[in-house]
């Protein structure tokens, strides 16, 4: 077993040496700029709704809906995934990434029917965000209640 | 070590048929393929139906090209990447030829021909049809994410080839000038790679193992080969194979290439480390390599299809990726024309 592990370790070294490195610095900078850009776009849309007479407190709702709509259309047109290869976390983290995960799953599993395909599987990627988002909110709520 | 078989009865490749998707059609080898489709979906309601149409098309085409009726074929050997190799089963349902299903992931092309060649040592049968296919969008869903899901791939990732290849082989010697003369059935080699975006690294040790076995057992040795091709190791796996063989004093670099790096223009097409999938080695062999053998640019070639035998469940459960490689030696018989 010991010899086997040594072979595997050496192989890992060789394979890493022959593999191009993930351009981490480039990816982080692009994600920062694109993610920030999407947020600025969101802010502009929000300001637009406020100028149209929305209550500043509630302008967030139509703003998010607009961003989700745009991301969904871009997913349907086959553009979002290509942009995501360029932008990485920049397009994954904002609400647009969440919309993309749901719409892409719904499209993919449409061929398996409306109930067991689209219905069951559209949350196959987004489900984890919902579960852990809800759990986090639960604990945050408890802490908030305790600290008054 | 794998197991080398020198075929007492050389198996003639009567014809091959190929079809490829639009991305492969923009690649450097597109002129060598029979059919290039414009639309990945082929107008079908699902990607799976489209892939089935690819395999059915090549299976029918190779028989038509060779003037052989389906009833004349003894055994149909096919495999693909989808659950329960469903593309192959549906194709076999259409063809109505006695069917043996194969699963060797991307090694299926050579696996099919190797099994057919060994079966054809038995003179009770005379004609075998082999086929394999892969589709970029069905494999995305099978192994990774929905096709339109936005995810950033690392540079070691590979791009699944859309296409299919079928081959008609026989043990009746006058049928062709091109023969499978020896095969090596590979064994599983697993050196602990876990990341499904490092398929090249996962499969390279198996390729090295099979190439080494084959060259040691072949009485002609390395110098008798005009070319050696691996199936779909990509740039990363190709570099690893060269290095690992060099460590054992086998230098293949001058005659070696990988189908995954040949089928696309790696600088212009956005495919990271190169192509992968069952269709990768099938398209390059039946398109380019058969052409080179027929036009006498090559006389003896080794095709080593490589497979990463992971399942979506196994890698999510953090298992390592078992690799395999099967080799077929294809030769043009001198003086047979």
Residue % of chain A over a pLDDT of 90: 93
B184 and B322 share one domain: yes
Strand partners, B129: B76, B168
By residue count, chain A amounts to 148
Q: Are residues B132 and B191 located together in one domain of the fold?
A: no
Q: Average pLDDT, stretch A25-37?
A: 96
Residue B3 lies in a domain: no
Pairing verdict, β B35-36 and B3-20: parallel
CB contact under 8 A, A19 and B46: no
Residues B191 and B143 both lie in one domain: no
Interchain pair A83, B150: CB under 8 A: yes
DSSP B269: S
pTM of the model: 0.94
Q: What is the C-alpha separation between A41 and B78, in angstroms, rounded?
A: 51
Residue ranges in chain B whose pLDDT is less than 70: 175, 335-337
Q: Please indicate, yes or no, if residue B257 is contained in any of the structural domains.
A: yes
Residues B142 and B194 in one domain: no
Whether B337 is in a domain gets the answer no
In a domain, B39, yes or no: yes
Q: Are residues B120 and B258 in the same domain?
A: no
Last residue of a domain, one of B149, B170, B191: B170
Q: What is the pLDDT of residue B335?
A: 58
pLDDT in tens, B218-258: 999 999 999 999 999 999 999 999 999 999 999 999 999 99
Rounded to the nearest integer, the mean pLDDT of chain A is: 94
Q: Given an 8 Å threshold on Cβ–Cβ distance, is A105 in contact with B149?
A: yes
Smallest CA–CA distance, residue B323 to chain A, in Å, is 14
Q: Is the same domain home to B118 and B185?
A: no
Question: Quick one: pLDDT at residue A134?
Answer: 96
Final residue belonging to a domain, choices B170, B202, B218: B170
What's the CA gap between B75 and B53, in Å, rounded?
Answer: 20
What 3-state DSSP class applies to B24?
A: helix
A125 neighbourhood in chain B, CB within 8 Å: 145-146, 149
In the predicted structure, residue A1 carries a pLDDT above the cut 70:
no
Residue of chain B nearest A31, judged by CA positions: B152
Looking at the domain assignment, is residue B103 inside a domain? yes
Q: What is the mean pLDDT of residues A23-44?
A: 96
- The whole-number pLDDT of residue B174 equals 76
- Kindly state whether residues B183 and B303 are assigned to the same domain: yes
pLDDT at A94: 84
What Rg value do the Cα atoms of chain B yield, rounded? 18
> Final residue of a domain: which of B139, B170, B201?
B170
Give DSSP secondary structure letters for B201-218. Answer: HHHHHHHHHHHHHHHHHS
> How distant is the Cα of B85 from the closest Cα of chain A, in angstroms?
18
Q: Does B185 lie in the same domain as B149?
A: no
Do B163 and B303 sit in the same domain of this protein?
Answer: no
Q: Indicate if B115 and B230 belong to the same structural domain.
A: no
| CA-based nearest residue to B129, from B73, B210, B176 | B73
Q: Is residue B66 part of a domain?
A: yes
> Would residue B76 count as lying in a domain?
yes
Each residue's pLDDT tens digit, B12-51: 999 999 999 999 999 999 999 999 999 999 999 999 999 9
Q: Count of domains in chain B?
A: 2
Residue A140: exposed, middle, or buried by beta-carbon count in 10 A (0-12, 13-18, 19+)? Answer: exposed
Q: Residue B318: which domain range? A: 177-332
d(CA A82, CA B80): 27
CB within 8 Å: B148 and A75: yes
Q: Do B148 and A21 touch (CB under 8 A)?
A: no
User: Any idea what the CATH number is for the domain that residue B222 is in?
Assistant: 3.40.47.40
Q: How far is B159 from chain A (nearest CA, A)?
A: 13
Rounded CA-CA distance B135/B48 in Å is 8
Query: Do the beta carbons of residue B329 and residue B181 sit within 8 Å?
Result: yes
The residue-averaged pLDDT of A96-102 equals: 95
Same domain for B162 and B198? Answer: no
Give the model's pLDDT for residue B337: 44
In a domain, B141, yes or no: yes
Q: Are residues B20 and B128 in the same domain?
A: yes
């Amino acid at each position: 077993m010991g010899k086997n592990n040594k072979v595997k370790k050496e192989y890992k070294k060789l394979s890493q040496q022959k593999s191009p490195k993930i351009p981490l610095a480039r990816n982080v900078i692009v994600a920062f700029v694109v993610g920030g850009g999407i947020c600025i776009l969101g802010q502009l849309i929000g300001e637009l709704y406020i100028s149209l007479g929305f209550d500043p407190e509630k302008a967030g709702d139509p703003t998010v809906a607009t961003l989700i709509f745009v991301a969904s259309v871009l997913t349907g047109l086959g553009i979002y995934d290509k942009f995501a290869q360029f932008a990485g976390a920049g397009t994954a983290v904002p609400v647009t990434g969440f919309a993309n995960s749901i719409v892409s799953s719904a499209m993919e599993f449409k061929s398996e029917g409306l109930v067991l395909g689209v219905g069951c599987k559209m949350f196959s990627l987004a489900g984890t965000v919902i579960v852990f988002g809800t759990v986090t909110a639960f604990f945050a709520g408890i802490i908030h209640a305790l600290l008054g | 070590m794998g197991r080398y078989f020198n075929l007492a009865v050389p198996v003639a490749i009567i014809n091959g048929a190929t079809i490829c998707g639009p991305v492969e059609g923009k690649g450097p080898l597109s002129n060598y393929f029979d059919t290039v489709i414009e639309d990945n979906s082929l107008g079908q309601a699902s990607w799976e139906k489209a892939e089935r149409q690819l395999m059915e098309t090549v299976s029918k085409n190779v028989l038509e090209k060779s003037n052989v009726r389906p009833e004349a074929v003894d055994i149909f050997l096919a495999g693909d990447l989808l659950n329960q190799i469903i593309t192959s089963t549906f194709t076999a349902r259409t063809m109505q030829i006695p069917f043996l299903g194969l699963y060797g992931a991307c090694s299926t092309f050579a696996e099919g021909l190797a099994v057919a060649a060994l079966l054809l040592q038995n003179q009770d049968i005379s004609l075998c049809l082999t086929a394999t296919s892969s589709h970029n969008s069905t494999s995305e869903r099978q192994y990774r994410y929905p096709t339109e899901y936005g995810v950033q791939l690392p540079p070691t990732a590979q791009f699944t080839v859309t296409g299919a290849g079928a081959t008609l082989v026989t043990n009746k010697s006058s049928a062709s000038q091109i023969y499978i003369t020896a095969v090596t059935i590979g064994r599983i080699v697993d050196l602990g790679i876990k990341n499904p975006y490092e398929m090249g690294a996962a499969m390279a040790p198996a390729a090295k193992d099979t190439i080494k076995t084959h060259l040691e057992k072949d009485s002609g040795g390395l110098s008798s080969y005009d070319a050696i091709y691996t199936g779909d190791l990509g740039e990363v796996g190709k570099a690893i194979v060269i290095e690992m063989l060099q460590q054992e004093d086998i230098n293949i670099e001058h005659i070696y290439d990988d189908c995954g790096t040949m089928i696309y223009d790696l600088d212009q097409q956005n495919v990271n480390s190169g192509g992968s999938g069952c269709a990768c080695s099938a398209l390059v062999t039946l398109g380019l390599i058969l052409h080179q053998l027929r036009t006498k640019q090559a006389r003896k070639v080794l095709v080593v299809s490589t497979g990463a035998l992971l399942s979506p469940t196994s890698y999510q459960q953090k298992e390592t990726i078992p690799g395999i490689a099967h080799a077929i030696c294809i030769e043009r018989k001198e003086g047979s024309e």
